[in-house]
Structures are given as C-alpha cells and as structure tokens.
Structure 1
C-alpha cells in the first residue's frame, strides 16, 4: 500500500480503463492523487465510469481527476488525439498503462484469419502504437516516463487454445524488454505485469461459458487456492508506475498465486470434445451479440 499522495502531480493514460481491471487500477491511481485519462472504444461506458470514479474521489476528499476519451488503439490518429487532449487538460503526461485486450478461447484451427488479426491488432499493434506515440513525446520534450504493459503468464510459457493472444502478448513483452534497453538513456522505464486469473463479471462469463466455466475453475490449479483480487493487481501497478520503482525496468512481474508453476494456463482444455467446442462457440457468439446490442442501446 502506497501513501495517499504517492502519485500526486502525475498524469497517466490507462487504455481499456472503462471496465474490469483497467477501471480497478484507475480507481487506485486516483486515490493516490494521479490524474488519469481513461480510454476505450465506447464513450458511454467511459463517461459512466468517469462519473462513478469522480464521485468516489469527492467522497474521499481526493485530488485526482479523470478524463474520458474514446479511442480505438488500432488507430494512430485517435491515439495522438488522446495524448494531445491529455496534455491540454493536465499539462503533462508521465505514464501509460497498456491494458486494452481481447481474446478467444478456441482451438486455433477453428479461428478465421480475421479473428486472429483482431486479437493481434488490439493487443500487439495497439500496445506498440501507443507506446511509440508516448515515447516520441517524452524523448522530444526530454521528459522521463513510465510504460506498464499488462501481459500474461503464457506470454513466456505459451498455452494452447489462446494462440492469438499468446502471440500478441509475447510480442509486446519482447518490445517491453527491448525498449527498456534502448530508451533507458532517456529516463524512460518499461515494465510488465503478468496476471493470473482476476475474474471480472461479464467479461469472465463471456470468455468462459459452460462447460468451460466448470473446467476452468482456476483455484484447482493455483497453489494458493484462490483467484486474484483487483486491489492486489492495482497495488502492484501503482508501484510500478510510481517513482518508488525507479530502479526497475525491463521486468515482467508475475502475480498469479503460483499458477504458472502448474504449466500452460489453458493447455488442459484438450479434454473438451468437438461437440462441446461447437456448443461453446455458439454460446460465445450469442453472448457477444447480446453485449453489442446492450452497448448500442446505451449509446
């Protein structure tokens, strides 16, 4: 637990900050006094999150402020817009949390080329686009900065049934280490967090419909016999974005209760039959359609 003003005066961009882990990390960054720009593709979701978090800041007499900006991380012009508006609002930019993600749980041969591209574009392309954009800004203006990428344990171990994500996360992790070596001379640090299971309602249900949900009970494979709590990951993220971690760069820190010690995170899905995969595929498609229809209704 960092002191309440540990990030006071810092400005941080959080991609995928409207929901899930991104929202939880943003909440904690605000508690520590940071100004945070949250971005994702859905402005309505961002606005709802920003209003909720700012109300919490007021209730707790905090000093952080939220700026909500729609952004597709696959589009460089939108990324440049987010950076520009962030600097206009807060006067500077000190950190970036690359948290936008996508995933499919599926036998790889069932995926279309487009499906594979979608994950790689969001996770890898989006990460290096945003990282390159903030790096150019920091270097040109002689400003030290910090990039934190949300990785995964299978970025290094590999895992069946999540190959597009593994490819993208693995590439992003190598970029993290490579740029840490190259940009250290500019005072720019890059690190990664490799989380295990940190369930979020909605996203977790869509990713793991039955019978996957029963088979994916992670506590049976985690030495600590529980899933992670969002506050635990938020605390680690805040530390790595703060000056207290000033001598740490090029590292990937695993926070998974020991799950990585038990081999590939999804490789045990060999037990799923072809018929079950057919049923799972239809369930996921229906859940995704329902989610999109709900988003359109909110917009």
Structure 2
C-alpha cells in the first residue's frame, strides 16, 4: 500500500475514540488520510482510555489531519453535524466506517428493554444514519467505500440462540451493508463488512470479568486496522458486497506471521466465527 493511495482521502469513523475505530483511523492517517472521528467521549472516563480529542491528537501525530466531533451516532442531528464538519474542513467524504457498537449478551429473560434498545439504536440505527448522511458525498468520490464492522451471516443455531438480541443487531448491520451493495450497485460505492477472526483487545474485553485471561488470548486492534486499510485500498467494484474476516484479508495480501498481533498461539475465536483457526494462525 503506497501513501498516495490515501493521501487527501477523508474518512469518517463512528466510535473512533479508542479500540478498533481509532486503530483504523490511525492506519489510514499513516498513509496520509484526513480522519474525522465521531464519538461521545469528550471527557476522560474512569474505565475507558482516551477521548475523541486525544484520539484526534494521535491521528495528527501519525501523519494525518484530524477533526474531533463530539456526538452520538444515534442522533440524526449529531450525525448530520459530523458529516457537515467533515465536508467543511476537508471538502468531501471518501470513506465511512461504521464502527460504533454496543454489546449485551445476557439471556433474553435477564436482558433489559433498555439494553435491547441501546444495541438496536447504536448498531442498526447508527449505521443507517451515518451511511445515509455520507451518501451524497460518497457519490462524488472517486474511491468511495463504506466499511461496517459487522460479521458474516452465520445461521448456525448456536449463534442465533446464544445471544439473540445482540446477534440481531450485528446481523442487522451486515444486512444493511449487503442491501446497500445491491441498492447502489451502479453508484461506484463499495459497501463491505469486516469482522475479526479472534477476540480483539478492546475496552469491552478489558472491562469483562475474566479480563486478564481474555486479553492474553486476544489480538491487537492493529490487525483490524491493517485489514481495513487493505480493503479500502481496493477498487470499489472489487470490494463491494463482501463480508471479510481480518486474517483472511491479510493472508490473501501475503501475511504469513500473525504472532506480532498478540493472542498467543491459540487465540480465542470471536463471536460468529466457527471454524479452526485459519490463515490467521500465529506462527510457531
């Protein structure tokens, strides 16, 4: 991947103050992209590292230009404001990354309606609002991509039954992406999904009850960033309508040693992935 492929391109990322969203923003910034971050965290949180402002500073330090927008992806006004800010500052939008997501995996009888609504609102509504607001500007881009952090549609009864409400919200994101790929097939915009093969060392994992053991078997967000950059560097016509797994993308690009991403020799497979560790197996 050459720097010129991202130089001057503008990326808008939801939930970009930390974790996978920030890692993807940093990956694009190192190749010269402008990165606009939409996130709620304006002030430091006792259990979550960083804010949208510290994330923007990291983007600048990595070589890109950045803009921090404090807002909620569930709010149509906040999303519109973020898109307008991106266009005002950088002249357009070339890449939309639907990263913001909420998770709750309690059994149905213990899952509150509030948590159910939160997952559907952030995961599905937020993806819809941000993509819709970006579309008029993506139409004018010569290299338009919408990348959604959502899984392939795995109808294994286990994944349907283990946490139906969370599964509904994530598959909803995937269905929107695949639907848009068909709806906008002639628009020159790529719509694709990216999902990790293994657990990723995010704040959600770090704040879980078994955090120490889980983190030890989780890969770094950098693997998602590297896979995202690889996808976003492809022509739109080649990348649209696809559901990618991070390790497969990198293996296809020639990566053979995944040990640098962490997780040990037997990292934990992520939700919705039921297969032996494949192209992403850590090197012995």
* TM-score over 0.5 for the pair: yes
Match among 41, 55, 59 for residue 53 of structure 1 = 59
- Correspondence for 2:193: 192
Q: Say yes or no: does 1:233 pair with 2:232.
A: no
Q: Say yes or no: does 1:38 pair with 2:29.
A: no
* Aligned-pair CA distance for 1:106: 1.5
Secondary structure at 2:184's aligned position in 1? helix
| Contact 2:11 2:94 survives alignment (8 Å) | yes
Secondary structure at 2:238's aligned position in 1? coil
Q: Taking structure 1 as reference, are residues 121 and 187 closer, same or farther at Cα in structure 2, changes over 3 Å only?
A: same
Q: Unaligned 5+ residue runs, structure 2?
A: 44-50, 248-266, 277-284
Q: Say yes or no: does 1:28 pair with 2:27.
A: yes
Per-residue CA deviations over 1:84-111 (Å, capped at 9, x if unaligned) read: 1100000111110000011113222101
| Contact 1:150 1:194 survives alignment (8 Å) | yes
TM-score relative to the length of structure 1:
0.74
* Aligned-pair CA distance for 1:163: 2.6
CA distance in structure 2 between the aligned counterparts of 1:92 and 1:201, rounded to whole angstroms = 30
* Aligned-pair CA distance for 1:138: 3.5
Q: Taking structure 1 as reference, are residues 205 and 230 closer, same or farther at Cα in structure 2, changes over 3 Å only?
A: closer
CA distance in structure 1 between the aligned counterparts of 2:179 and 2:153, rounded to whole angstroms = 19
CA distance in structure 1 between the aligned counterparts of 2:10 and 2:186, rounded to whole angstroms = 22
Cα RMSD (Å): 2.6
* Aligned-pair CA distance for 1:42: 1.6
CA distance in structure 2 between the aligned counterparts of 1:174 and 1:185, rounded to whole angstroms = 19
CA distance in structure 2 between the aligned counterparts of 1:102 and 1:235, rounded to whole angstroms = 23
CA distance in structure 2 between the aligned counterparts of 1:155 and 1:123, rounded to whole angstroms = 18
CA distance in structure 2 between the aligned counterparts of 1:119 and 1:46, rounded to whole angstroms = 21
Q: Taking structure 1 as reference, are residues 144 and 185 closer, same or farther at Cα in structure 2, changes over 3 Å only?
A: farther
Q: Say yes or no: does 1:209 pair with 2:209.
A: yes
CA distance in structure 2 between the aligned counterparts of 1:104 and 1:195, rounded to whole angstroms = 18
- Correspondence for 2:240: 249
* Aligned-pair CA distance for 1:37: 0.1
* Aligned-pair CA distance for 1:161: 4.2
| Contact 2:26 2:58 survives alignment (8 Å) | no
| Contact 2:94 2:137 survives alignment (8 Å) | no
* Aligned-pair CA distance for 1:154: 6.8
* Aligned-pair CA distance for 1:41: 0.9
Secondary structure at 1:12's aligned position in 2? strand
CA distance in structure 2 between the aligned counterparts of 1:103 and 1:150, rounded to whole angstroms = 13
Q: Taking structure 1 as reference, are residues 202 and 232 closer, same or farther at Cα in structure 2, changes over 3 Å only?
A: closer
CA distance in structure 1 between the aligned counterparts of 2:141 and 2:66, rounded to whole angstroms = 25
CA distance in structure 2 between the aligned counterparts of 1:123 and 1:9, rounded to whole angstroms = 29
Q: Bigger CA drift: 191-200 or 23-32?
A: 191-200
CA distance in structure 1 between the aligned counterparts of 2:235 and 2:222, rounded to whole angstroms = 18
CA distance in structure 2 between the aligned counterparts of 1:232 and 1:261, rounded to whole angstroms = 19
CA distance in structure 2 between the aligned counterparts of 1:80 and 1:40, rounded to whole angstroms = 13
Max radius of gyration: which structure?
A: 1
Q: Taking structure 1 as reference, are residues 244 and 82 closer, same or farther at Cα in structure 2, changes over 3 Å only?
A: same
| Contact 2:100 2:122 survives alignment (8 Å) | yes
- Correspondence for 1:114: 114
| Contact 2:26 2:59 survives alignment (8 Å) | yes
| Contact 2:201 2:220 survives alignment (8 Å) | no
